[in-house]
Every structure is written in structure tokens, then in C-alpha cells.
Chain A
Amino acid sequence: MSDCSNLEIREALPELLHGRLDAVQAAKVREHIARCAECAAELELLQRVQRLYSAAPAVNTAAIVAALPRPRARRTFSLGMLRAAAAIVLLLGGGALIFRAAMSGSQNGQPNQVVVTPQDTPAIRRDTPVTVERTAQPRVFAMSLSELDDLDADEMESLLSALDRIDAAPVAEPDTLMGSVSGVGT
């Protein structure tokens, strides 16, 4: 059996066999096959080979699935968890600030006064403490977690005990989805 000289068509025969040509390409190939005995015979041979190997050994998909490793669920954070995390940060910061202010006031024996050491005002000497009166108005504090470094061991322990009593922390690991497998191997 000789080969057709149209290599483009011959290359397309396995693609036609597996339906991987678009409608225009498939029509072009079929049109060629209709008037080319070599390509018609080659396609017939390929179909025989395909039939020969189409009978695959039976596969037990249920047994395969049962042998697979379990998925390692990725850690995802829900909006609720992020809110809880933000609340903890605020509690840590706010608690530390309040604790520090309270400690500072009791040490000076002047509970109505807060001692502030100026750092950003060049006109005031850094070693000159400034005393300001407490006001009855609530104040908004901005602080960073690095200020926790200023707490001594007792202060830190007291703060941590207070935090332990807060029941707002999310579980560390989300529950793994363990949906039932239905229709396996059927």
C-alpha cells in the first residue's frame, strides 16, 4: 500500500479519528478521503488499530480512590476569623495601653495625671517631663505591639491572664471537609 503525497491530510487522520478537528478541517479531510484511495485505506487501518486497543482492562475506580492520599486542606481564613484576629490585636494594644497608663499613674502617686515624654517636639527638651491633666473625654490611642516590650514580667503575665479569659480566638485549623463519596465504582 503506497502513501498519499499529501502529508497534511495524512497527519490529520488520527485527529479526525479522535474528533480533534474543527468542522471546517474535518470537512476538508473527508472531502480528500472521498477521492483518495491511499488515505481511505490508511484511515481504515488506523480505525482497526484504535478498535484493537479500545478494549482496556477493567479498572476498579473505587479501589484506586480508596488507596489515594487524603487531601491536605489548605488553610483559608473566613471573614469572621479575620475579624476575630483584628479584635485580638485591638484588645492586645488597647489592654496594654490601659495597663501601662494605670501602672504609670500608681507609681507616681498621681492617678489623675499622665506623664508624657516628648519625642517629636524639638522645642521641648527630651529630659523634661510634661505633666498633663487627665480629661473626662475618652481618648483614641494609637500604639504598636512593640510597646509590649516595655512591660515587665509581672505586667505581661497579668495581661496574658486577662487575654486568656477572652473567648474570641478562632480554632487554629479549619475542619477538613469529609464529604461522603457516592456512586463510587458503580
Chain B
Amino acid sequence: MEAQPDRADDRDDRTLIERWLGGDERAATAIVERHATAIARFVSTLGERETDEVVQDTFVRAFSSFDSFRGESSLRTWLFAIARRLVLDRRRAQRRRPVTESLEDVELASGFTALDSIVAAEAEGQVREAVERLSPTQREVFTLRVAEGLSYKEIAEVVGTTEGAARVHYHNALRTIKDALYV
């Protein structure tokens, strides 16, 4: 059963990009408002704390490269791929950096997220725990599929894998979560 791709959204994105390339700065606001929340959500599921910074860097990179955006994938998929690369780059950089973070800093940072109010509910907490126990790739594929509604093709473009591999990751993740919750 084939899902219907959101072609109208893709067309709107291309129109907005064309308008921005033509000098219309208001198109930038429209593009950011259409996609910023989804990118922030995706970035937070990757475990990134500095969501604001990554989302902003994602748009700065994208707008600097719109000339080369060929529209072969949807704009959202492309933005997800950029955000993912930025998160991975930050992780690599953090691994090279000596740890200077104090415990207080960690507590302040982890004390923030809006997700906390939701995970307070026990049932939701269990689901979250189950999702977080997945391997990084499984979690990424699963949240892109369930939280963002991406197709396997789109997920493959974001993660840099094949549609078949994305499908396998999704079903393995689902099986793992079911086992964690219902056994």
C-alpha cells in the first residue's frame, strides 16, 4: 500500500525557495516556520541538547546551498539530513574535547526539556525508556517513521542507507519496543 507523497507541500517549498533566490526575504520566514519545529523534534530525538543551535545552523547551511538544491528529495528530508550531519559533527567534536562540564551544568541542561512534563506520566515514561534502549540507528529510523511520518525512501535519504535496510531497522525497533513493554 503506497502512501501518497505530499507533492503540494514540495511544490510550495520549491516556490518559496525560488522566491527567496529571487530576492524575497519574506520567503525565508515562511520556509523556517514550515520546518523548524519538525527539525527541532528530530534533533531532540537524536539526544542533542543544543537543539536551538543545531536548528539554526541547519537553516543557515541550507540557505547557503539553495543554489545547489536540485529538489530530488523533499526540502524537509534534505533539512533532516543536514541536521543529522550537524549532530554527528558535534558529537565527534565533543569526543575530541576534554570534559570540562560540571555536574551542575549537566543538571541544568537536563532539567530543561519540554519532554519532561510528558514523561512524568508513567506509561509514557515506559515507552520513552523502550525507545531509548534501541540502537542509535533503530531509534533514528523508528522516530523518523513514527514521529515524523517519513517514508522508507525518505528515511534512507536522511540516514544514508537503503529503503530495505530502513524497513528492517523499523520492524526490529518495533519488535524490541513491544518486547520491552508487553513481556
Contact = CB atoms under 8 A, between A and B. Distances in A.
Interface stretch (A14-22, A87-95, A105-113, A121-129): A14-22
B29 A181 contact: yes
Contact of B60 (A52, A61, A68): A68
Contacts of B143: 49, 53
Given A59-B36, A65-B32, A50 B60 contact: no
Interface stretch (B38-46, B83-91, B92-100): B38-46
Q: Which size bracket describes the interface of A in this complex? A: 35 or more
A11 B77 CA distance: 20
Interface in B122-168: 123-124, 127-128, 131, 142-143, 145-147, 149
B12 interface: no
Nearest to B174: A42
- Which of A54, A64, A178: most chain B Cβ within 10 A? A64
Q: What is the interface residue range for chain B against chain A?
A: 35 or more
A51 B60 CA distance: 29
Contacts, number: 151
A80 interface: no
B124 A52 contact: yes
Contacts of A9: 1
A51 B119 CA distance: 10
Nearest to A179: B26
A124 B129 CA distance: 100
A17 to B, nearest CB: 7
A117 interface: no
Contact of A49 (B22, B25, B131): B131
Interface of A: 1, 3, 8-9, 11-12, 14-15, 17-18, 20-22, 25, 28-29, 42, 45-46, 48-61, 63-65, 67-74, 76, 176-179, 181-184
Top 8 A-B pairs ranked by shortest CB distance? A18-B149, A73-B23, A56-B41, A53-B147, A20-B3, A15-B3, A177-B23, A1-B182
24 contacts: A1-B178, A8-B1, A9-B1, A15-B3, A20-B5, A49-B143, A50-B146, A52-B118, A53-B45, A53-B143, A53-B147, A54-B41, A55-B117, A56-B37, A56-B114, A57-B44, A58-B40, A61-B33, A64-B55, A68-B59, A73-B22, A176-B23, A177-B23, A177-B25
